[in-house]
């Protein structure tokens, strides 16, 4: 089997490292972050991701997976190097590729034989070509190597499952030489007839952006429909369900909510818009997706404020769910950021509870907000409850008990989990999204 080094142990890199080890390769997970590597060496997870701990333990115990901070030695040891470092959003919306290009330079300096370099990070079109050039420059033409674009489509909260059960695997290359090795390391998937798409570098890079922007547009679209439904008295849940019955539309990613967040959709839509701008191509759909989502987050803030006749100052608001979606502790670009900050600006008191994201929240708001030990503690004495994340434990709240704890009984169910008539029958004012 191949010796694989994975550089970067964030969501993408760590999932790839564990997943590739689980497929049978010997994998070395590398990161410059000493604290992260130390945790992993102790068998502890640096992120919350269901199912990942078990597979980490299993592959470490079976000696296919180790971690190190020594990136240079790791590069010299490996047959295949995966790059899974971050490509965060820069100030101008473009992806910041500093980390990737640094890694390319280190790879170039340390090559001592043929190696395949596989980019897992989401990168703008042309980046893999640039990675190729950088490695070539620092390697001074001494050794042959190939660069592969192998974008990752995992969802946070389902990272391990998605890596092990992908809808497709995209392999972009400049020439066919690395293809056999890639088929071998993904052999369990290849044998299971997961579609493999072999293509060139720019097409592989573009597939990832087009997919994420399309999904983001789908969510932004149904949220727009929800806003219209709110005004005309229609029910967006029925609209979405029925739209989804059309095979050309499909039912997935049509769930109205408080606006999309996370590390991918906001960043990738911005990055694609920037790529298009650079090439003087207008992308009004992508641009409007971004705007529509920003607008939607403000819309839900307004919904809360208007329910209090614009007088939110001094009101006590409980926020249930801070993560940008369930099953993750990630609050990057989450709607909770917008809504809590707006409420604080208008002098509301905010008390929050999230099953996993409390530590991340403390880093943002420190003692400006209150942190509850569970959902009912957060609700106690509240004038309004705002449900933002669809955690399972928020799906079966004892609504009667919740209302008993509240001072003013306004319930903002921004994931449309509860039925308006049932909640209203218990004496609450109910506010959904388009319902």
Q: Which stretch binds ligand UDX (CB under 6 A): 26-34, 171-179, 253-261, 336-344?
A: 253-261
Please state, in angstroms and as integers, the Cα–Cα distance from residue 278 to each residue in 35, 123, 267, 374, following that order.
38, 15, 16, 48
Minimal distance, residue 212 CB to ligand UDX, in Å: 6
Q: Which stretch binds ligand UDX (CB under 6 A): 1-9, 164-172, 226-234, 256-264?
A: 256-264
Minimal distance, residue 271 CB to ligand UDX, in Å: 12
Report the b/e string of 155-191 with b at 16+ CB within 10 A: ebbbbbbbbbebeebbbbbeeeebbebbbebbeebbe
Q: Which of 84, 86, 262, 384 binds ligand UDX (CB under 6 A)?
A: 262
Minimal distance, residue 395 CB to ligand UDX, in Å: 14
Return the number of the residue (251 or 381) whose C-beta is nearest ligand UDX. Answer: 251
Q: Would you give the binding string for ligand UDX spanning residues 387-416, x where CB under 6 A is met?
A: ------------------------------
Q: Which of 13, 84, 86, 257 binds ligand UDX (CB under 6 A)?
A: 257
Return the number of the residue (12 or 351) whose C-beta is nearest ligand UDX. Answer: 12
31 annotated binding-site participant: yes
Minimal distance, residue 249 CB to ligand UDX, in Å: 12
256 annotated binding-site participant: yes
Closest to 250 (Cα-Cα) out of 214, 294, 213: 214
- Is 264 a known active-site residue? yes
Q: Residue 379: CB partners within 8 Å, gap ≥ 6? A: 318, 320, 385, 402, 405, 406
Q: Which of 229, 264, 350, 388 binds ligand UDX (CB under 6 A)?
A: 264
Return the number of the residue (266 or 384) whose C-beta is nearest ligand UDX. Answer: 266
Span 136-155, contacts to ligand UDX by CB under 6 A: 152-155
Minimal distance, residue 67 CB to ligand UDX, in Å: 23
Residue nearest to ligand UDX (CB): 264
15 annotated binding-site participant: no
Return the number of the residue (67 or 209) whose C-beta is nearest ligand UDX. Answer: 209
Q: Would you give the binding string for ligand UDX spanning residues 204-243, x where CB under 6 A is met?
A: --------x--x---x------------------------
Minimal distance, residue 290 CB to ligand UDX, in Å: 13
156 annotated binding-site participant: yes
Footprint on this chain of ligand UDX (rule: CB under 6 A)? 152-156, 212, 215, 219, 253-255, 257, 260-262, 264-265, 324-325
Q: Annotated catalytic sites, by residue? A: 264
């Amino acid at each position: 089997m191949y010796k694989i080094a994975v550089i970067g142990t964030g969501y993408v890199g760590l999932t790839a490292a564990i997943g590739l080890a689980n497929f049978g390769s010997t994998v070395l997970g590398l990161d410059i972050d000493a604290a992260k590597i130390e945790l992993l060496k102790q068998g502890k997870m640096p992120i919350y991701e269901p199912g990942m701990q078990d597979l980490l333990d299993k592959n470490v115990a079976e000696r296919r997976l180790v971690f190190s901070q020594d990136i240079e030695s790791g590069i010299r040891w490996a047959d295949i190097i995966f790059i899974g470092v971050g490509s965060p959003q820069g100030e101008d919306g473009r992806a910041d590729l500093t980390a990737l290009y640094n890694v390319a330079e280190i790879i170039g300096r340390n090559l001592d034989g043929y190696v395949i370099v596989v980019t897992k990070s989401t990168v703008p079109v042309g980046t893999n070509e640039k990675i190729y050039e950088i490695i070539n420059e620092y390697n001074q033409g001494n050794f042959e190597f190939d660069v592969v674009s192998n974008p990752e489509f995992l969802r946070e909260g389902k990272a391990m499952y998605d890596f092990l059960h992908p809808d497709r695997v995209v392999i972009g290359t400049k020439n066919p030489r690395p293809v056999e090795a890639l088929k071998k390391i993904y052999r369990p998937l290849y044998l299971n007839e997961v579609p493999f798409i072999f293509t060139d570098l720019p097409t592989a890079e573009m597939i990832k952006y087009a997919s994420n922007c399309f999904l983001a547009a789908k969510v932004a679209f149904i949220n727009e429909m929800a806003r219209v439904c709110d005004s005309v008295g229609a029910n967006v849940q029925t609209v979405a369900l029925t739209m989804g019955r059309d095979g050309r539309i499909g039912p997935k990613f049509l769930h109205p909510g408080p606006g999309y967040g996370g590390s991918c959709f906001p960043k990738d839509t911005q990055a694609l818009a920037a790529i298009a701008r650079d090439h003087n191509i207008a992308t009004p759909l992508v641009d409007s997706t971004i705007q529509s989502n920003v607008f939607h987050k403000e819309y839900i803030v307004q919904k809360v404020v208007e329910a209090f006749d614009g007088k939110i100052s001094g009101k006590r608001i409980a926020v249930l769910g801070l993560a940008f979606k369930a099953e993750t502790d990630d609050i990057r670009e989450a709607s909770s950021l917008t809504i809590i900050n707006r409420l604080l600006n208008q002098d509301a008191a905010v008390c929050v509870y999230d099953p996993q994201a409390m530590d991340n929240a403390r880093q943002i708001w420190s003692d400006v907000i209150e942190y509850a030990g569970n959902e009912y503690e957060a609700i106690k004495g509240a004038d309004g409850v705002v449900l933002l994340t669809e955690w399972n434990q928020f799906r079966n709240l004892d609504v009667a008990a919740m209302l008993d704890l509240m001072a003013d009984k306004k319930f903002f169910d921004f994931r449309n989990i509860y039925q308006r008539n049932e909640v209203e029958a218990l004496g609450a004012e109910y506010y959904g999204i388009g319902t």
